[in-house]
Structure 1
Amino acid sequence: MRDFARSENAKVQAQLDRLGRLSVPDGRLGLETIRALLERLGNPHHKLPPTFHVAGTNGKGSTCAFLRAMLEAEGYKVHMTTSPHLVRYNERIRVAGELISDDRLAELLAEVLDAGEDLNPSFFEVTIAAAFTEFARVPADVCVVEVGLGGRFDATNVLEKPAACGIAALGIDHERFLLAPEEGTPDVPIARIAFEKAGIAKPGSSLVTLSYSDEATHEIEAAAARNGAPLAMRGREWSMSESGTGLHYSDRHGELVLPLPSLPGPHQPENAALAVAMLRHQDYISISRDALAEGIRTATWPARLQRLAPGPLTGDREIWLDGGHNPSAGAILGKHFAGQRLHLVVGMLDAKDPTAITGPLGDAISSVTVVPVPGHDWHPACTFGDEAREAQDVPTALAALPDDGLPVLIAGSLYLAGEVLRLNDELPD
């Protein structure tokens, strides 16, 4: 599946069209192509400021958002690369705190695509090469890098000595890639997922994680030992709990009482604590308690349990947006909306399991309206049950809902979420 991108800037679109024509031979694994491309660009990944590298099935983007907010609250200039983008490709490359400009993006993509024309790189490999090239050119104090898919063979895994590596929540997703049969890898699915994510472990760099099942923990411990990475796991080297007064964090450096995140969702305190633990288990930069607290309060991360603002699409109705599409994300939605009733507007790629969202929501669902995922193959209404109906797009789906005061949840795909943000004039910045 290609990761489509569009821009209103003609120069950027010309390069995005080139990106869209890239194809990857099915089954190609490894870091050889990205390393060859970076070599031609002067190995910019060797010239980055201290870098925080974050993997995980769910929560890695939110953890990156907390890291960025905490570091900026301390006064640091922060480069960040995350994926996917929601509305504009520029969202993938944040340079010293600002989204990369269209003019610079067009020049940068042209440079990288020209350099790797004969290497047949992937969309994501070009993106990471472009991000690292710009990050090496523009002065900043720190980098935050989100893994795209997996970890072991992800293009970001060319990083050789991050300040710290982190692993957020684990779950089953991207089975075609992460559970593909391979000799010498674990047979138990969650253990294999942990094995792939822990592939980002590096000698001398702390590997900071949450707590997991025994099978997953075993693989993470083995990866840390194999790579000489000091392991800092929740429940061992650090701990976190919640109360009405805030987030209670402790590690070998002492105890902190921090505010609860402003980001909604029962999982966000854990993501915030993971970011705190990553910053406190490294020796490259200093961070104060006040900056940690301010970052927890101010971090934003669109399309993850986001309450949409009144706008052209929403009017004054209470509408929530979430790009989650796997069972772990569905469980978070089920917990957040427990005890409520809502209308579900859902669009899911046909490779995903429709029950991942509808199952955890269960009796909370008053109605289900299925919409297309723009530019992708998607599940029709019949896969969501006999009572699910179909609409040609999100505006049509919302217009057909009864005016009964119930909130609406739009969910199932980050691609759909990006379209919703565009329609409501809420562009991520």
Structure 2
Amino acid sequence: MSEAAQEIDKLMGLHPKGFDLSLDRITRLLEVLGNPQNRLPRVIHVAGTNGKGSVTAFCRALLEAGGYGVHVHTSPHLVNWHERYRIGLKGGRGKFVDDSVFAEALRRVAEANAGQKITVFEILTAVTFLLFSEHPADAAIIEVGLGGRFDATNVISDPAVSVIMPISLDHQPYLGDRVELIAAEKAGIMKAGHAVVIGHQEYDAVLDVLMSTAERLHCPTAVFGQDYMAHEEYGRLVYQDEFGLADLPLPRLPGRHQYANAAAAIRAVKAAGFVVTEAMMEKAMNSVEWPGRLQRLTEGRLIAHAPAGAEIWIDGGHNPGAGEVIAEAMANFEEKQPRPLYLITGMINTKDPVGYFRAFVGLAEKVFCVPIRGSEAMIDPVILSNSAYDAGLVAEPKATVGEALDAIKEILDPQAPAPRILIGGSLYLVGDVLADNETPPK
């Protein structure tokens, strides 16, 4: 176990798990630390139900393509806590925080907190601001943890741009049971007079809330489909905004939903005050990476369990909106190269499994439901199988991902093409798979 992981284990024993949405505790702690959140480079602050991570990855790729040093904060991590903190390097690719630096920052924040009531996520967020304020960079991309208005990252008072990605139902106990209520929470990251970029929104009610908030706060606003847009044409990505048009390669990240995510990133980086050249955009489309999101596994220990020639994908999407875009991507793959699709799925009990599974009806041959290692909140595989059945799918529980892969081998028609296998339903399951496969994010 790393030195930083040991420090976090100590904190887990002292402070409650989960979220307690409030800014009082983090504000108090940051004041003791000298308000490092006010000493950051230009901040791109990102909220949304789906697409936060992808737009963050595109923003980072764009800026690094221009030679900028870019700090990146994301959550949760997949395998190691260090993934949450990418430290920018001028003229090069940022790297995950060094373990000793991370551990020391954790100790300093814990000491400043002096044992007062706080959540571990708030401590980790304070570490973000401390690390990013003490390492020089040109930009800091900071992803919201949960919601927006009361998320611990929302102590940022002077963002270069606030980005709101697609909003749908998720985390209802915390954020509300209607999309417009969730939109109001996520709109809380907008700051008066500061630029806002709104990504593709499926619901008119969401867009109404976001637009009315931006207007009330007098925020210069760019909306996908109105002020900027992107579409595929002759196997290329055409991006357009008020500054002009760019003819680009299709993004390296698979799925048509990534066209809108790439567009939002281009517009956001421009809104943050950076000059974005076509060369930067082209390089970013070819270099962007986002582990655990429609990531294809081509090597590793788990591959040995899979049927010969199988195409294996992992994706941490876990709500109905994510299910729809992942299913669309699988359908596109099927159109280009037909293969039987099998799902290996694990989920936690704050999600809507029936809504997620419904997107795969008519597409997936069978679902194998598995536990999530070490998670008290996981849905029992038998219960998850019942949810898949309720959605209209054939499902069966298995004890491990390896057993599920073995089961797929057993039921395959030897005359059929090698299968396409999607492992997902939870970032925690995807993290377990990457750890077991010995291919963690780098």
User: What's the TM-score once normalised by structure 2's chain length?
Assistant: 0.89
- Residue 262 to residue 27, structure 1, CA distance change in 2 (3 Å): closer
Whether contact under 8 Å (1:179, 1:192) holds in the other structure is yes
- Structure 1 residue matching 2:150: 3-state secondary structure: coil
CA spacing shift, 1:272–1:412, aligned 2, 3 Å: same
| Deviation at residue 55 of structure 1 after TM alignment | 0.7
2:301 aligns to what SS in structure 1? Answer: coil
Question: Is 1:44 paired with 2:20?
Answer: no
**Partner deviation per Cα, 1:232-275 (whole Å, 9 max, x = no partner):** 11122222222124222222212222221010112111100000
Q: 1:375 to 1:300 in 2, by over 3 A?
A: same
- Offset, 1:22: 4.7
State the distance in 2 between where 1:109 and 1:229 align: 35
SS class of match (2:302): coil
Greater Cα offset, 135-144 or 116-125? 116-125
Q: Is the 8 A contact 1:382 1:388 kept in 2?
A: no
Most deviating of 331-340 and 301-310: 331-340
Tell me, yes or no, if structure 1 residue 74 matches structure 2 residue 66: yes
Residue matched to 2:79: 87
Give the RMSD, CA atoms, in angstroms: 1.8
- 3-state SS of paired residue (1:313): helix
Distance 2:18 2:370 in 1: 29
Equivalent position of 2:415 in the other structure: none
Match of 2:47 among 51, 55, 77: 55
Matches within 5 A, 1:1-400: 8-9=1-2, 11-24=3-16, 28-96=20-88, 97-179=94-176, 189-212=178-201, 213-283=203-273, 285-315=274-304, 317-338=310-331, 339=334, 341-376=340-375, 377-379=377-379, 380-385=381-386, 387-400=394-407
Distance in 1 of aligned mates of 2:17 and 2:364: 41
The corresponding residue for 1:420 is 433
Residue type matched to 1:118 in 2? G
Query: Residue 388 and residue 214 in structure 1: after superposition, are their counterparts in 2 closer, same or farther (change >3 A)?
Result: closer
CA distance in 1, matches of 2:374, 2:406: 22
Opposite residue 256 of structure 1, the aligned amino acid is A
Alignment gaps of 5+ in structure 2: 89-93, 413-417
In the alignment, the residues of structure 2 paired with residue 290 and residue 252 of structure 1 have an alpha-carbon distance, to the nearest angstrom, of: 18
Question: Comparing 25-34 with 331-340, which one deviates more in the overlay?
Answer: 25-34
- Contact 2:21–2:152 at 8 Å: present in 1 too? no
Shift of residue 389 of structure 1? 2.1
Please state how far the C-alpha of 1:280 moved relative to its aligned partner.
2.0
Q: Deviations over 1:35-62 (max 9, x none)?
A: 1111111111111011111111000101
Q: Alpha carbons of 1:375 and 1:262: their partners in 2 closer, same or farther (altered >3 Å)?
A: same
Alignment CA distance shift 1:190-1:258 (3 Å): same
Supply the distance in 2 between the matched residues of 1:211 and 1:382 (Cα, whole angstroms).
Answer: 34
Instruction: Select between 225-234 and 328-337 the one with higher mean Cα deviation.
Output: 225-234
- Give the 3-state SS of the residue equivalent to 1:262 in structure 2: coil
Q: Are the counterparts in 2 of residues 334 and 360 from structure 1 also a CA contact under 8 Å?
A: yes
Partners of 1:211 and 1:217 within 8 A in 2: no
In the TM superposition, what is the alpha-carbon distance from 1:421 to its structure 2 partner?
0.4
Matches of 2:422 and 2:120, distance apart in 1: 31
2:214 maps to a residue whose letter is: A
Alignment check: 8 A CA contact 1:369 1:381 kept: no
| CA positional deviation for 1:18 | 2.2
- Deviation, structure 1 residue 211: 4.0
Q: What is the CA-CA distance between 1:92 and the residue it aligns to?
A: 0.3
3-state SS in 1 of match to 2:83? helix
Show structure 1 runs of 4+ deviating over 6 A: none
Q: Which moved more, 1:155-164 or 1:111-120?
A: 111-120
In structure 1, what residue type is equivalent to 2:427?
L
Q: Unpaired segments of 5 or more residues in structure 1?
A: 1-7, 181-188
Tell me by how many angstroms 1:113 deviates.
Answer: 1.3
Between the aligned partners of 1:335 and 1:13, the Cα distance in structure 2 is 37
Contact 2:315 2:422 in 1 (8 A): yes
Structure 2 distance, partners of 1:78, 1:107, is 21
Aligned to 2:362, what secondary structure does the other structure show?
helix
**Alignment partner of 1:191: what SS?**
helix
